[in-house]
A and B are shown apart, each in its own frame.
Chain A
Amino acid sequence: MKDFVKKLETIVGEAFVSAEAEERYLYSMDQGTMPPAEPDAVVMPKTTDEVAQIVRLANEFKVPLVPMGGGLVLSGLTRALKGGVVVDMKRMDTVVEVNPASRYAVVEAGVSQGGLKAYLAKHHPDLKHSMPDAPPAATIAGNICIHGSGHLSVLGGFHSDMLTGMEVVLPTGEVVRTGSCSVSPQWFARAPLPDLSGLFLGWSGTTGIVTRLGIRLYPNYRYNDMLIYVCETAEQMPEAISLLTSVQVAEDMTPWMVPKPEWAKGFFHINIAFGAHSKKELIFKRNLIQESVRRLTDTKRAGFLPIPPVQKGRFMQIPSPDLARFADARKGGGFEYVGAMMAIERFPEAYARGMEIAEKFHVTYSLGARIIGAGHAMMFFFAYAFNRADTEDVQRAADALEETNRACLAMGGIPWKAELPAQKEILQQMDAGTVGLMDRLRNTLDPNRIMNPGNWEA
């Protein structure tokens, strides 16, 4: 390993390689409950060429590589399960191009969500990208590669749906492009070519290292508003979601069910965000949304919370620090969630199971969802806070998460960015042909199986 580290230093410079105990410790885990797995070293490349050199070197030495963006996945996907080197991509932080006419941006893999947001605010204030609920340090590339979702997901689907192309260093060191940029100088779409981007989406860094990618941008409205729909039972939610999405006005819809504050406990809320170029248009859109569920609100079983304009700001903050603050719910710096992609009609069942599990394990919970597309699917999350300093509490949360993962699969859902135990559950339930194909693809792309080994292994 010493020789390997020395050679890494010649590629990226001495300052950006470390095999010190401190880096190995910190990069051995993330904020979630998965146990640490220490890398032998950490490297921080600055260019695609450096990444390619690192990958070729790793093949030569048969050293595993674990690509990492913001490191905020919470489910332990950037742990070096079989040792090797964590490739921290955050030095590749250039916004390469913004095309306002075709509304896309090309960014390097280390560009953070906050970084692109700020860049667009300064240089292209009429454009925005879909921000996940992760802290601003999360990277665009990492989030897209795990099929993330965010504040424009009703409008544009999963963040991976917003991808327009990629530059990837293959596990064997070749640099390839997918999407229009493989033919054209422009990065406008993945169509009409064979969609090779799929080889790198949802694979948890086992098929290559993404070095830059194109993403869709959307109009950044001058006027923005939000509504909070509330109803009394989980059974009412699928119909409400269906109606609210049917007018196709919302940018984002996020149901939430929380035990605190006390007044909200037992009620079912949906935050609905929308924007417009003018106040008139904004009110028109609000009316459309409200009318969509008029037959429900007229029964008095549901309605929209009256929120004074001055209090709406905190609901419209993107990203919201409230998410990070949930980690301190037990004064312990930890939370993790099962986010399961599910059919929307499963909402009541998912809620009921979530409550059962929270009660069974006595965990501090927050349940909610993000609607994907015009009511096409949802990411239902079961978040549990824990005290990092209390090993029993961490274990309790881990057990609750594992049971939740199994419950989601039983409901026909699929855990998102699944922890290792959940990956194994998914693979067990997966069509055998699909599992075989995944394995064949990995063997083809990565004959030495050096890419984030341990993940997605049947």
Chain B
Amino acid sequence: MNAIAFDPDVCKSCPTVDCLMKCQYIAIADVAEARQEKQKINAGQDCRVLHECLTCYACQEYCPNGNNPFFVLVERQEELGLLPAPRPIVAEQLKMMAPKGRITKAPVATPVVNMCAFPMLTGSIRGRLFEGASVITGTDIFCNVMWLHFAKNSVIRERVPMAIDNIMSYYLKDSDVTDMVCFHDECYGTYTTLAKAYGIDVPFHPIHLFDYINQRLDDLADAIKPLNQVIAYQRPCSNRLAPGTDAVLDEIFKKIGAERVPRKYDRENALCCGGVPRAHQRDEFADDLVEKNIADMLDIKATYCVFNCPFCMATMAQEVAERGLMPILVSDLVMAALGE
């Protein structure tokens, strides 16, 4: 088993302990307490943070040293048997999301769009934005990063290589394709940051959806009819694994006339959608997160609540719509600007 890429000395000498000090969910009094908690985590000891962690991935982004604090935390949770969610819930999800062996070989052509475990959203891959795209989807190519929310690094280590192998052997290899567009941040994060940290080889070239869309918008520049609307963006946890792509999203919004007005809970301060805390049996906390998010979006007078994570959208869309905002995926918003 490959150890997670992590340097305890770098962590030990960190002056800011941003991973915990910036955490929006765990109350830490000062750097001294943060450092103490970190030392316990690094030493494999039980501590408060391991119990209170919301598993939002944000510390991966906050760490100034790229030292994978969140992956290490999940490792410790699993080693110590500190499950954030009840056992039967994890067990059912493990079965639900397991590779089913239903995959069949199919020729693909660029752009290959990986819809991961969201087959119900394949209808989103349409129009000029995705012209000629080959769509691949199903639990056999599920990126499996979700197990970070459930203290299951072991499942990630077991299933991610299987998914990679399936993607290659059932789709990309025979068609001599190396590029793969990841519809979901989670996939991109898996095949870049996570794979690197876990020592998993990725034989293809993952492309973030934002990079793909941004490029396409240059090709389709003449077709863009600027939306001229204020939008609120619900940045998902998995984007913490690829924070550089958030700037690409800004370029996209600019091109389509979507104004991402600054708000409290965006960018580095993005708040969880509330989906995972419900699995952790923290519904009241999740309610609070949803309320803060939506109130913040309403404060900036947004018309659209834009999602890139389908799970965030499933969690929040109904409430968002009831409060007068229009829930929409980034790709659909772009298509609206293209008049489709």
Contacts and interface: CB of A to CB of B under 8 A. Distances in A.
B278 to A, nearest CB: 4
Contact of B89 (A230, A283, A308, A310): A230
Contacts of A317: none
Interface stretch (B14-22, B90-98, B223-231): B90-98
B86 A306 contact: no
Contacts of B86: 230, 297, 300-303
A420 to B, nearest CB: 40
A306 B88 contact: no
A157 to B, nearest CB: 29
Nearest to A294: B281
Given A301-B88, A303-B89, A308 B95 contact: no
B89, B96, B279, B287 — which one has the most chain A CB atoms within 10 A of its CB? B89
A287 interface: yes
Nearest to B87: A300
Contact of A303 (B85, B287, B311, B319): B85
A290 B284 CA distance: 10
Contact of A263 (B85, B95, B278): B95
A232 interface: yes
Interface in A252-305: 261-265, 267, 283, 286-287, 290, 297, 300-305
B200 to A, nearest CB: 26
B95 A262 contact: yes
Contact of A301 (B87, B311, B319): B87
B11 to A, nearest CB: 29
Nearest to B286: A306
A264 B275 contact: no
Contact of B88 (A230, A261, A290, A308): A230
Nearest to B82: A300
A177 B94 CA distance: 58
Nearest to A232: B88
B86, B279, B318 — which one has the most chain A CB atoms within 10 A of its CB? B86
Nearest to A297: B281
A305 B89 CA distance: 6
Interface string B57-94: 00000000000000000000000000101111101110
Given A287-B284, A290-B283, A297-B281, A306 B87 contact: no
B275 A306 contact: yes
A306 B318 contact: no
A141 interface: no
Interface string B301-335: 00000000001001101110000000000000000
B83, B88, B283 — which one has the most chain A CB atoms within 10 A of its CB? B88
Given A264-B92, A309-B319, A311-B314, A303 B283 contact: no
Contacts, number: 64
A444 to B, nearest CB: 55
Contacts of B311: 308
A231 interface: yes
Contacts of A309: 314-315, 317-319
B218 to A, nearest CB: 34
Contacts of A231: 88
Interface string A25-41: 00000000000000000
A423 B43 CA distance: 67
Contacts of A286: 283
A261 B83 CA distance: 25
Nearest to B287: A283
B83, B281, B314, B319 — which one has the most chain A CB atoms within 10 A of its CB? B281
Nearest to A268: B88
Given A232-B87, A263-B96, A308 B281 contact: no
A285 B284 CA distance: 12
Contacts of B87: 232, 300-301
Contact of A308 (B85, B92, B275): B275
B315 A308 contact: yes
A310 B314 contact: yes
B317 A310 contact: yes
Contacts of A261: 96
Nearest to B81: A300
A267 B88 contact: yes
B91 A267 contact: yes
Nearest to A230: B88
A311 B319 CA distance: 13
Nearest to A287: B284
B215 to A, nearest CB: 32
Contact of B279 (A302, A306, A310): A306
B281 A303 contact: yes
A264 B88 CA distance: 10
Nearest to B277: A306
A263 B311 CA distance: 19
B241 to A, nearest CB: 22
B87, B93, B284 — which one has the most chain A CB atoms within 10 A of its CB? B87
Nearest to B100: A262
B128 to A, nearest CB: 28
B86 to A, nearest CB: 3
A264 B96 CA distance: 8
B283 A302 contact: no
Contacts of A263: 92-93, 95-96
A104 to B, nearest CB: 34
Contacts of B319: 309
B140 to A, nearest CB: 15
Given A302-B86, A310-B314, A287 B283 contact: yes
Contacts of B287: 283
A436 to B, nearest CB: 50
Nearest to B92: A263
A306 B278 contact: yes
B300 to A, nearest CB: 23
A255 to B, nearest CB: 14
Given A262-B95, A263-B96, A304 B281 contact: yes
Interface of A: 230-232, 261-265, 267, 283, 286-287, 290, 297, 300-306, 308-311
Given A308-B275, A310-B317, 17 more contacts: A231-B88, A261-B96, A263-B95, A263-B96, A287-B284, A300-B86, A301-B87, A302-B88, A303-B85, A303-B86, A304-B283, A305-B89, A306-B278, A306-B279, A309-B315, A309-B317, A310-B314
Instruction: Give the 8 A-B residue pairs with the shortest CB-CB distance, closest first.
Output: A303-B86, A308-B314, A263-B95, A263-B96, A306-B279, A306-B278, A309-B318, A230-B88
26 contacts: A232-B91, A263-B93, A263-B95, A263-B96, A265-B95, A283-B287, A286-B283, A287-B284, A290-B283, A300-B83, A300-B86, A300-B87, A301-B88, A302-B88, A304-B281, A306-B89, A306-B275, A306-B276, A308-B275, A308-B311, A308-B314, A309-B314, A309-B315, A309-B317, A309-B319, A310-B317
